[in-house]
Amino acid sequence: MLEQLVVKNYALIDRLQVRFSSGLNILTGETGAGKSILIGALGLVLGLKADTEALRAGASEIDVSGIVKLEDNPEVQEWLREQGIEAENGSLIIRRVVRKNGKSTIFVQSAPVTLAALRELTGMLFDLHGQHEHQSLLSSDNHRRLLDHFGGHTQEVAQFTSLHTNLLKLREEHSALIAEQQERTRKVELLEYAIDEIEKAALKAGEEQQLRQEQNLLANHEKLIHLVEEIYGATAESRGGALAALRQARGSLAEVVKIDSNLNQSSRQLDDAFFELEDFVQNLATYKGSIDFDQARLESIEERLDLIRRLEKKYGGSIESVLAYLEDSRRQLEGIQASDTTQKKLEDRISLLEKELRQRGETITGLRKQASIQLEQKIVQELVQLGMPKVRFSVQIQDRSGEGGKVLYSSTGKDRVEFLISPNPGEPYKKLAQIASGGELSRIMLAIKSVLAESDHINSLIFDEVDAGIGGEVAIAVGERLKRLAEHKQVLCITHLATIAVQADNHLKVEKTAQAGRTVTRVSPVRGNERQEEIARMLAGDKTGDTSLRHAQELLQKYGAGKGG
């Protein structure tokens, strides 16, 4: 609800502060007094296009601010959370400064915001009717929302939205997997080749060292045989080697011990040396007999070592590194294969969600069609009472479609909802934005808002030309509708008709006065006798005549008793 509007340097306004109340706020005044100027200034707060021609002569900038009391509007609360803005005592201060160059500075509380952000915020707070701007009902995007609120199936739509969001996320995941498919296929081929190559090699830890030792033996076979023969000849007893000499020395030492027992220890040492050498010679004989040269084995070893070198060059600097590469490749391959399984599961889940989405979409379409019949009837009834007896109103519900007629689903279903109207007989249905007459459009908006009053979250409505081209009983009906609407909303209305003005909860008079040689616009509340005089002026242009004053008093007693009259 708009509590206060402060305007500086806008057209005829030098500085103006206007307080509004809940319920029906009526602005009246002589033609040219500045009523529409005030609405124009308010439009700046609402995000309408700034016109530097409205800058008061001699001023450098227009400064307009409004204090807005927040009501129960979850969309606004969510917007404020996203912007990091906090209300103070349940109210917001919206301020806009327009300079000579046409540029604006905009603040919500003390936070600077863009013009687009301002329009987004105020579009959830206000509806301005009578101009072809800032009207939520002119946007077909809002028609769907209003129909859903009227029909009472917003919960079903919210569930559909949640389902649609989940489906989009799954589709994104699936698209990412598909985009990576070529890279995964290439990697799988490389991994499978590496795994196959390493597994076929059947490498064993420590194998390379053993093979090199065997290769060294086979490569030096002749030298080895020659050296072993020399060693054997020098030590073996049968060839007069060291073992024969030790045997002879051992016998001689045994004779010495018989003469001198002090050499017993030396004799034992010589025995030990003899037996050690004897064992050595036997082992050497066995080793010499085992030496065998196999050219095929040497070639096999060299081929094996060459294979190991190639694998080490490709997959690591050692057999251990190659085997570690093998295990890592196996894990990577398992991961990729698991992602392929994930892709299949995603596809299955997406298919199920798409089926559920279609079913829920059809259900919501059915609910909307049922609600649209009731909405059409109620709005036509209102419009007939507002002086449009031949009007036709239609809620058009069509499938969103893409190429080939494929049904497209948005976050709220598959329906494109739009309000259409035919104001006069023989005229085709038109979009609301195509209605040329401001007064006609305002009455259409009044009718729609009256029907949707309890289901629409927008709490402040502004009507500039709602009384254009009407009078008599229709004017009374318009006043009654405004009054009834004001039971649920704050309504600001400019009117020239006394039968509408008498319905006011807060009657404000706009007038021009001269001050310091310049014309200025002033706005003041009218009560008691002043109000009776203002109603008399509106009735007959005479605020002092007995007849007009008496008529004004009768209207106030009938429609405005206890309402500021």
- At 535-558, the pLDDT tens digits run 999 887 777 778 888 888 888 888
pLDDT value at 564 more than 50? no
Domain ranges (residues) in the chain: 1-125+506-523, 184-335
pLDDT value at 486 more than 60? yes
Residue 442's pLDDT band (boundaries 50, 70, 90)? confident
Could you tell me which of 514, 535, 538, 512 has the C-alpha nearest to residue 524? 512
pLDDT at 438: 65
Per-position b or e across 263-301, b if 16+ CB within 10 A of its CB: beeeeeebeeebeebbebbeebeeeeeeeeeeeeebeeb
pLDDT value at 131 more than 60? no
Query: Residue 138 corresponds to which tokens in the numbers above?
Result: 């002119």
Mean pLDDT of 52-69: 90
Q: Residue 167: how many CA atoms within 13 Å on its side-chain side?
A: 19
pLDDT value at 301 more than 70? yes
pLDDT at 436: 55
Judged by average pLDDT, the poorest of 68-72, 176-180, 352-356, 492-496 is 176-180
The span from the CA of 260 to the CA of 53, in Å, is 143
DSSP 8-state symbol, 32: T
pLDDT at 132: 45
Backbone conformation region of residue 115, classed left if phi is above 0, alpha if psi is from -120 to 50, else beta: alpha
pLDDT at 519: 81
Could you tell me which of 415, 201, 439, 198 has the C-alpha nearest to residue 324? 198
User: 3-class SS at 113?
Assistant: coil
The span from the CA of 143 to the CA of 290, in Å, is 101
Q: Which is more confident, 168 or 344?
A: 168
pLDDT value at 525 more than 70? yes
- The mean of the pLDDT values for the chain is 85
pLDDT at 135: 61
According to DSSP H, which parts of 18-94 are helical?
35-46, 74-83
The span from the CA of 445 to the CA of 137, in Å, is 7
pLDDT at 134: 47
Torsion angle of C-alpha atoms 310, 316, 317, 320, degrees rounded to 10: -110
Q: For a pLDDT cut of 90, what percent of the chain falls above it?
A: 28
Could you tell me which of 67, 92, 83, 93 has the C-alpha nearest to residue 116? 83
Mean pLDDT of 216-234: 78
According to DSSP H, which parts of 3-62 are helical?
35-46
Tell me, letter by letter, the H, E, C secondary structure of 378-443. HHHHHHHHCCCCCCEEEEEEEECECHHHCECCECCECEEEEEEEECCCCCCCEEHHHCCCHHHHHH
Query: Residue 24 corresponds to which tokens in the numbers above?
Result: 């029906």
The two counts, helices (H) then strands (E), for the chain are 17, 15
pLDDT value at 478 more than 90? no
Residue 340's pLDDT band (boundaries 50, 70, 90)? low
Q: What is the DSSP string of 185-220?
A: HHHHHHHHHHHHHHHHHT--TTHHHHHHHHHHHHHT
Residue 117's pLDDT band (boundaries 50, 70, 90)? very high
Q: Which is more confident, 218 or 269?
A: 269
> In residues, how long is the chain?
565
The span from the CA of 142 to the CA of 448, in Å, is 12
1-125+506-523: what CATH class?
Answer: alpha beta
- The answer to whether residues 42 and 17 touch, using CB atoms and an 8 Å cutoff, is no
Beta-carbon count within 10 A of 239 CB: 11
Beta bridge mates, 419: 395
Write out pLDDT tens, residues 396-420: 999 988 877 888 999 999 999 999 9
The span from the CA of 56 to the CA of 532, in Å, is 33
Residue 563's pLDDT band (boundaries 50, 70, 90)? very low
pLDDT at 239: 62
pLDDT value at 166 more than 90? yes
Mean pLDDT of 424-444: 79
pLDDT at 136: 67
Report how far apart, in Å, the C-alpha atoms of 139 and of each of 44, 418, 437 are: 20, 9, 17
pLDDT at 61: 92
